[in-house]
Chains A and B, each alone.
Chain A
């Protein structure tokens, strides 16, 4: 699959409320290209609910139901059941939520829907913060990162949501990134063809939230993968496959770049470099990343 082969379908209409350089609309464009117009999306409180823009207009050319912050998966379960009752089973039901709405407040609704084998795709776009409300920490915020609620840098490491999802043993889950649109497209296409619950998480570097300049969204995603801060993989019927550069890192065919190569461009980590380098914290981040990859290797190599 090359960029040229991706379809022209557009359901994100120009002139939305998204910030310039937004990873959410970048990811959504690929989602709609892969899933097509016969899709219903459920969106809880998050940036995307704002990106939809102001009543009586919306920037999404697709049916969307907005719902309370914690309820994306519950709402999608209801939509799926209603469609099933009406015999409209060719419509793809998608819940699209942020990391706050997934890792934190929406986790019980999500876990319930996965356990009930709801036939839908849950997509989490992970910008590692509560961005819509002005950059607060979430369970996905990495260690050391500044947010308005972690002014000296976060003191805990992020959750491994992928592993929590895997414990549900659903037919398909995957990690992707906005910087790799073909990979994301393939994962969505595959998910669409599988019955039952599917979970896809998309790394979504956010310029205002991470404090980097808006033309660098794609670069920040690539570096997240190349430094091993984020892994691209698919977990299908309990079989794990790593993709792209993440596969090479797993198999030690390439070395992951130092995390510094990724975080030095992000103002949210500036205090780790100025006024002087915080060697201890940088080392803690590197060691934590190494541990994650050693765990992946022990489980999946």
Chain B
């Protein structure tokens, strides 16, 4: 990445600038690929850009950063995404 030599405070782009925000989740979106009709509504509405649009318009979820808001599940018209309570890892 190009760094700039100027006399002011500059921040540089970074995925996870606030850390792994997946740890914020209380509920986890679970995708049932068999039900998905590739409408991409979850992809366009996800506020975090953590619904990944694959080449064939199927979708995957980036659990490292997904905050668990549940918007994807709520906008999916065929209920291919459900929210399930996170279980604490030991």
Q: Which residues of A contact B (CB under 8 A)?
A: 3-4, 6, 8, 10, 12-18, 20-23, 25-26, 29-30, 52-62, 181, 213-219
Contacts and interface: CB of A to CB of B under 8 A. Distances in A.
5 contacts: A3-B44, A14-B50, A15-B19, A16-B17, A55-B9
A21 B24 CA distance: 12
A218 B15 contact: no
A15 B22 CA distance: 8
Contacts of B57: 4
B2 to A, nearest CB: 11
A14 B39 contact: no
B35 to A, nearest CB: 18
Instruction: Tell me the interface secondary structure of chain B in the complex.
Output: loop
Given A3-B39, A57-B12, A23 B17 contact: no
A30 B49 CA distance: 11
Interface string B15-42: 1111111001000000000000001110
B65 A15 contact: yes
Contacts of A8: 53
A57 B39 CA distance: 34
A20 B24 contact: yes
Nearest to B27: A215
Q: Which of B19, B39, B67, B75 has the most CB of A within 10 A?
A: B67
Interface residues of B, number: 40
A100 to B, nearest CB: 20
Given A53-B18, A54-B18, A218 B75 contact: yes
Nearest to A185: B44
A217 B53 CA distance: 21
Contacts of B44: 3, 6, 29-30, 181
What are the 5 tightest A-B residue pairs by CB atom distance, in nearest-first order? A215-B70, A15-B16, A53-B17, A14-B65, A20-B69
A23 B47 contact: yes
B86 to A, nearest CB: 13
Nearest to B83: A215
A275 to B, nearest CB: 30
B71 A14 contact: no
B47 A217 contact: yes
A25 B17 contact: no
A20 B18 contact: no
Contacts of A12: 48-49
A79 to B, nearest CB: 14
A186 B1 CA distance: 32
Contacts of A54: 11, 17-18
A15 B47 contact: no
B62 interface: yes
Contact of A56 (B11, B24, B45, B73): B11
B85 to A, nearest CB: 14
A59 B53 CA distance: 20
A15 B41 contact: no
